[in-house]
Amino acid sequence: MSEKQRVSTLARRIHGWSWQAFPIGMGTGAVYVTLSGLKEHSPTLTTVETIFYFLNISLFLLNTTTLMTQAILFPRQAWRLIKDPVKGIFVPLVVLSFATIIIGTINYAVPPGHVSPSFIYVLFWIYVAFACLTCLPMLMIWFNQPHDLATFTPAYAFLVFPMMLVGVVAFNVLKTMNPADPRAIGVLVLGYFFQGIGFFMTFFYLCIYIIRIMSTGFLEGHQANGAFVACGPPGFTALALLNLGDHARKILAAHHLVTPAAGDIWYASSVLSALMLYGLAVFLFVFGVLPYWFKVHKHLKEILGCWALTFPNVGWISCTRVLGDVFHIPGLYDVHLVMTILMCLTWAVLFVLTVIAFWKGLIFYSQDEDVLKDTRRDDDDKLSYSTTSTAV
């Protein structure tokens, strides 16, 4: 019993932290991204969005710092989380959190002049490198072992999400650039390139998801939250195509690329494709909502999985507003407003429940035995290494 008392609460928190903490920040980012798209936009609303933006940055710093500390103090636990077939799929979410921060920086730091467009351009390339360096190794680790179809969930697509969101980051970066700038061509082309990789890879995951629920029925328990992840790929791709196509009209014309009508053709084809993908995203959302309450487990210890109710839906919700602009349908603005309000309410409920679960030690809290076990093993490894070095 005395041995257990040597484990501090802080040590148990650090040891129990996981990559599943990043969806909290992404859900926070989802709030200001959807709010920023509202048709009626007041200065007060911008202030509220800015508060969520800084809260997102704080959560990002907290998560990255804690996981880095975990890697130093408990390397076995850190490596165990990365190799875990379930918890490991959340590792790429650190890149997605970074994407929401870039979008927030573009919306709230560039207009006042606090950040220059050149810096945003550099951030874009950092994001692309970050996405590739994270996704590819994690895909190698994940595909290096077999996985049971009966336990498959759309959340497995998180392994590809960062590359898919390059298109979303790209069109936001293009907002800060002059279409005549030669660098805009690279951003546009790379946005389409990675959006294609991300969407088609995640689409394969969606096909497996449909096969899974055909054989086992709707997802149950904590996996029921994963049904909303399925909305992400078609929703974000539709949003990216609409905006990249709009920028393509200006960029291709400014540089006289392909043909004089290429920009308009790209835009028209993007609108058509986006409309169909938008329909798929809405269907998958409804498909996840209808059985949700009857399938999900109402346990606070599984609250982290519920954050999937927020950020995967940002794509099709934001796309609703853009389609309203394209087709001049005021009703879509109303739908966007209603879904944005629901997003904010969902965030508030989840945030309160997450704080309660954290306070009660139901999440991010390891048992004494687990901390002591990893502490002893890590100390033994260091002692063994020291002895070997001395012998040599």
Q: What pLDDT shows up at residue 123?
A: 96
Considering the chain, what percentage of its residues have pLDDT values greater than 90?
A: 78
- Longest CA–CA separation in the chain, Å: 78
What is the chain's length? 392
Q: What pLDDT shows up at residue 313?
A: 95
Q: Is the pLDDT of residue 92 over 60?
A: yes
Tally DSSP H helices, then E strands, for the chain: 16, 0
Q: Which of the two residues, 99 and 148, has the higher pLDDT score?
A: 99
* Local confidence band at 358 (pLDDT 50, 70, 90 cut-offs): very high
Tokens linked to 152: 């498959």
- Tokens 């012998």 sit on residue: 391
Q: CA-CA distance, 229 to 222, in Å (whole number)?
A: 13
Q: What pLDDT shows up at residue 336?
A: 96
Q: What pLDDT shows up at residue 381?
A: 53
Instruction: List Cα–Cα distances, 108 to 103, 112, 237, 384, in angstroms.
Output: 9, 7, 24, 52
- Tokens 């687990």 sit on residue: 370
Tokens linked to 64: 């990255």
Q: Is the pLDDT of residue 247 over 80?
A: yes
Q: Which of the two residues, 298 and 10, has the higher pLDDT score?
A: 10
* Local confidence band at 386 (pLDDT 50, 70, 90 cut-offs): very low
Distance from chain centroid for Cα 132? 15
**Mean pLDDT across 90-112:** 95
Tokens linked to 258: 């392909």
Q: CA-CA distance, 217 to 233, in Å (whole number)?
A: 22
Considering the chain, what percentage of its residues have pLDDT values greater than 70?
A: 94
Does residue 245 contact residue 269 with C-beta atoms inside 8 Å?
A: yes
* Local confidence band at 375 (pLDDT 50, 70, 90 cut-offs): confident
The rounded mean pLDDT for the chain is 91
Q: What is the pLDDT of residues 155-183, one digit of tens each?
A: 999 999 999 999 999 999 999 999 999 99
Query: Which is nearest to 22 in space by CA: 85, 87, 108, 106?
Result: 87
pTM recorded for the entire structure? 0.91
Q: What pLDDT shows up at residue 377?
A: 59
CB atoms within 10 A of CB 267: 21
